[in-house]
Amino acid sequence: MRSRVADVRRKLSAPFRLLRGRDLALYSAAVTFYAGIAVVPVALLAIWITGLIAGADRVRRLTGRTIDALPDAIGAPRALAALIEAGLHLTPMLAVASLLPATLYGEGLRRAFVSLREPGEALVGWRGRILWLPLLAASPALLLALFLALPVTSGLWVRGGWYAVAGVILSFFAAWLVLTPVVIWVYRGVAPGRPEWLATTLVGSFTAANLSGFLHGFVLFCSLPLDLGVPFGGFTEIGGVVAVGLWLYLFHVILLAGFAATQSASAFQRARRVRAGDPEPPEPAEPGSRGSRSGRRNGPADPAPTSSTAPAVASSRGPAAP
């Protein structure tokens, strides 16, 4: 019985072997610090660009019913309404000013991924910032797709009963579809190593489903009649900020665990290709990188002779025949 339990535990922990001996809590807290700085600027830029493309009135109309349907136990509707209005009223000068803190999230993710996979990368912060920019550019399309689903899901939620259940299910799938390309790019583009596409797509989609469910759990948390200021001397605002930070921390625990599983699945896929006799394609070098350090460590055991070694090899074969 113990051997079976140990075997099951070994199989379940195999995808996360990259996290062995690593302080996952510390890495998640570090990314949460960067996210705490970047989350509002990212949201403001995404809403601003979406408003420029779709129109401010349309954005208000698509999000109005959702704001009304959100539980207001801890003030979530007021906070979301204020965020949307601030994003729609953003000026080009303020948008440029928001760009610098918005890219900090990419830096935090890249630093965590590099520390888990292979520490010592040069210019890790700037690479993370630059590789985060494509997601900022795609954010209007992703946000507009989510906004288009909000009136339907919110209308079902307000009707109550089984309609509310259907609304939650549709909302889950909408968030899942929006988060899937985001997570795939984070694992394939922002993270180092360029894992295999199949592994990245499967694990990234599964991680996005977990994150979608997690975000819906946060909405449920907002509906609980909790006095968040009790542990902080009655300061409800501080309690709300701490609660959001805690949920962001757990969010990144899931994200980093998915990254470890992606790396393991990609390594398994490459090893399976080698066992099948297919030539393994070289790992693509990233822009500005000095090459894979693992590639230098795992070089060929018997290098091809060069011009300096060829004479020595030839002379070691014995005297030439007369």
pLDDT digit string, tens, across residues 57-89 = 988 888 887 887 777 767 778 888 899 999 999
DSSP 52-79: HHH-HHHHHHHHHHHHHHS--SSSHHHH
pLDDT level of residue 20 (50, 70, 90 thresholds): confident
Mean pLDDT value across residues 223-227: 80
Find the DSSP H helices in the chain. 2-13, 24-54, 56-69, 76-88, 92-102, 104-117, 124-159, 162-185, 197-222, 236-275, 293-297, 310-315
Q: What is the pLDDT of residue 308?
A: 41
Domain boundaries, the chain: 22-276
Which pTM does this prediction carry? Answer: 0.79
Q: What is the pLDDT of residue 228?
A: 84
Tallying the residues shown for the chain, one arrives at 322
Answer for the pair 50, 83: CB distance below 8 angstroms, yes or no: no
